[in-house]
Structure 1
Amino acid sequence: MQESKIVQIEGPFITLGQLLKEESIIASGGAAKWFLRENEVLVNDEIDQRRGRKLYPNDHVTVPEAGSFVIQSK
Structure 2
Amino acid sequence: MIQFKLEGEFIPLIQLLKATGLVGSGGDAQTVVTEGLVKYNGEVDYRKRLKVRVGDIITFAEHKIEII
- In the alignment of these two chains, the number of paired residues is 68
**Structure 2 gap segments, 5+ residues each:** none
Match of 2:33 among 36, 39, 47: 36
Normalised to the residue count of structure 2, the TM-score between the two structures is 0.86
CA 1:47–1:61: 2 relative to 1, 3 Å: same
Q: Distance in 2 between matches of 1:18 and 1:48?
A: 15
Quick check: 1:33–1:49 contact (8 Å CA) kept in 2? Answer: no
Q: Distance in 1 between matches of 2:3 and 2:20?
A: 11
Tell me the secondary structure at the aligned position of residue 9 of structure 1: coil
Is 1:17–2:41 an aligned residue pair? no
CA 1:10–1:61: 2 relative to 1, 3 Å: same
Quick check: 1:36–1:49 contact (8 Å CA) kept in 2? Answer: yes
Cα distance, 1:71 vs structure 2:
0.5
Normalised to the residue count of structure 1, the TM-score between the two structures is 0.80
Q: After the TM superposition, which parts of structure 1 deviate over 3 Å for at least 4 consecutive aligned residues? A: none
Structure whose CA Rg is larger: 1
Q: Distance in 2 between matches of 1:59 and 1:23?
A: 15
Is 1:68–2:64 an aligned residue pair? yes
Tell me the secondary structure at the aligned position of residue 50 of structure 1: coil
**Structure 1 gap segments, 5+ residues each:** none
Please tell me the root mean square deviation across aligned C-alpha atoms, in Å. 1.3
In the other structure, the counterpart of 1:6 is 3
